[in-house]
């Protein structure tokens, strides 16, 4: 017979404890920790140098600016002197222009009386007699006789068409039928003479206020050659515009 031997072994708990001891070596501060100190030191070294350089640059700029200001002041003084001279020249030019314009105005207002008389004479119809002509400033008064009222009206219309006279101010102021003034010193005695009647009139007119430069043709036609030549000379020199 066979026999079976069984050994029951108790469970064993093997406690194995391994102790590890870490030894840390002592070390100094890292670069990151030292960075603020490095930056601070650099600033302490660089800042005085920057300040000194800045002061040097500022001094140079200040000196250059003062020189530039002095140059500008000198130029301003020269310009002020030149400006004063220019103003004096302009004042003289303006004075000369005013004197020339005054002279031009005088020429433009001249109305030769000879030209007015020639113009009136050329406008008198055959059936109208002018016995008197009087002038007061620019007003002209004519007096005389006309054969009829129609002849008198024609005379007025002719005067109104003259460029040397003011048409609106050319009017009949008086008109009446009267005997013609005929001398009868040699008339026989006891003979009754009947005198023809006519229209005794008074006409007032005014010299035109148009500039003489616009009436050169009329003045030339009426014989005022001297005035025409003077005005044309002013036009040729550009003083008077045609």
Residues 121 and 218 in one domain: yes
In a domain, 85, yes or no: yes
Residues 155 and 98 in one domain: no
Residues 157 and 229 in one domain: yes
Specify the pLDDT at position 196.
Answer: 82
Query: What is the extent of the structural domain holding 157?
Result: 113-180+195-236
d(CA 229, CA 231): 6
d(CA 36, CA 54): 25
Q: What's the distance, Cα to Cα, between the start and end of the chain in Å?
A: 171
Specify the pLDDT at position 235.
Answer: 77
Residues 91 and 146 in one domain: no
d(CA 199, CA 114): 28
Residue 189, number of CB atoms within 10 A of its CB = 4
Residues 139 and 44 in one domain: no
Cα–Cα nearest to 121, from 228, 223, 211:
223
Specify the pLDDT at position 193.
Answer: 64
Residues 124 and 97 in one domain: no
d(CA 109, CA 230): 13
Residues 207 and 100 in one domain: no
Number of domains in the chain: 2
pLDDT tens string for the chain (242 positions)?
444 444 544 444 444 444 444 444 445 555 555 556 555 555 565 556 566 566 666 666 667 777 778 777 777 777 777 777 787 788 787 777 777 667 667 767 777 888 889 889 989 999 999 999 999 888 999 999 999 999 999 999 999 999 999 999 999 999 999 988 876 666 566 666 677 889 999 999 999 988 888 888 888 887 788 888 888 887 787 766 66
In a domain, 160, yes or no: yes
Compute CA distances 165 → 162, 214, 218, whole Å: 6, 13, 11
In a domain, 187, yes or no: no
Last residue of a domain, one of 59, 92, 109: 109
pTM beyond 0.75, yes or no: no
């Amino acid at each position: 017979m066979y026999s079976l031997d069984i050994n029951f072994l108790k469970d064993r708990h093997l406690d194995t404890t391994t102790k590890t001891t870490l030894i840390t070596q002592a070390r100094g501060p890292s670069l990151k920790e030292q960075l603020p100190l490095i930056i601070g030191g650099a600033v302490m070294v660089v800042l005085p140098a920057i300040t000194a350089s800045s002061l040097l640059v500022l001094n140079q700029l200040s000196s250059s600016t003062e020189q530039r200001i002095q140059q500008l002041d000198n130029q301003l003084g020269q310009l002020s002197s030149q400006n004063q001279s220019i103003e004096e020249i302009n004042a003289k030019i303006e004075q000369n222009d005013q004197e020339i314009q005054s002279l031009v105005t005088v020429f433009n207002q001249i109305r030769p009386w000879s030209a007015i008389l020639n113009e009136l004479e050329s406008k008198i119809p055959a059936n109208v007699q002018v016995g008197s002509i009087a002038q007061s400033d620019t007003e002209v008064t004519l007096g005389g006789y006309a054969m009829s009222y129609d002849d008198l009206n024609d005379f007025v219309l002719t005067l109104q068409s003259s460029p040397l006279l003011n048409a609106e101010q050319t009017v009949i102021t008086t008109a009446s039928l009267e005997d013609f003034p005929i001398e009868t010193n040699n008339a026989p005695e006891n003979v009754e003479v009947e005198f023809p009647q006519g229209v005794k009139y008074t006409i007032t007119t005014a010299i035109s206020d148009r500039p003489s430069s616009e009436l050169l043709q009329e003045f030339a036609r009426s014989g005022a050659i001297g005035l025409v030549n003077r005005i044309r000379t002013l036009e040729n020199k550009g003083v008077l515009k045609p």
